[in-house]
Amino acid sequence: MAWWGTVIGGTLGWMFGGPLGAILGAALGGNFDRGIKLGDNVDPRFGPGNQERVQTAFFTTTFSVMGHIAKIDGHVSPHEIQAAQGLMAQMQLNSQQRAAAIKLFEQGKADDFPLHDILLQFKKECHGRRNLIQMFVEIQIGTALADGKLDPAEKTLLYTIGQTLSFTRADIDHLFSLANGTKASSSDSLTHAQAYKILGVSKDASKADIKKAYRRLMSQHHPDKLVSKGLPDEMIQLATEKTQEIRKAYDLVK
Residue 64 has pLDDT above 90, yes or no: yes
Give the pLDDT confidence score for residue 39 in this predicted structure.
40
Measured between alpha carbons, how far is 177 from 240 in angstroms, rounded to an integer?
18
* Number of continuous H segments (helices) and E segments (strands) in the chain: 14, 0
**Of 66-80, 122-136, 213-227, which range is least confident?**
66-80
More confident residue, 188 or 35: 188
End-to-end CA distance of the chain: 39
| pLDDT of the residue at 41 | 46
The rounded mean pLDDT for the chain is 82
Mean pLDDT for the stretch of residues 153-165: 95
Residue 61 has pLDDT above 50, yes or no: yes
Q: What does the pLDDT look like over 107-119, one tens digit per residue? A: 999 999 999 999 9
User: Looking at per-residue confidence, does 33 or 119 come out higher?
Assistant: 119
| Per-domain boundaries in the chain | 2-253
> Measuring CA to CA, how many Å separate 167 from each of 54, 120, 133, 238?
20, 13, 10, 21
Nearest Cα residue to 57 out of 109, 104, 112: 104
The pLDDT tens digits of the residues spanning 85-111 come to: 888 887 788 888 889 999 999 999 999
pLDDT greater at residue 142 or residue 115: 115
Count CB-CB contacts under 10 A for residue 88. 17
The pLDDT assigned to 40 comes to 39
- Using CB atoms within 10 A of its CB, is residue 182 exposed (0-12), middle (13-18) or buried (19+)? buried
* pTM score of the predicted model: 0.82
DSSP label at residue 185:
H
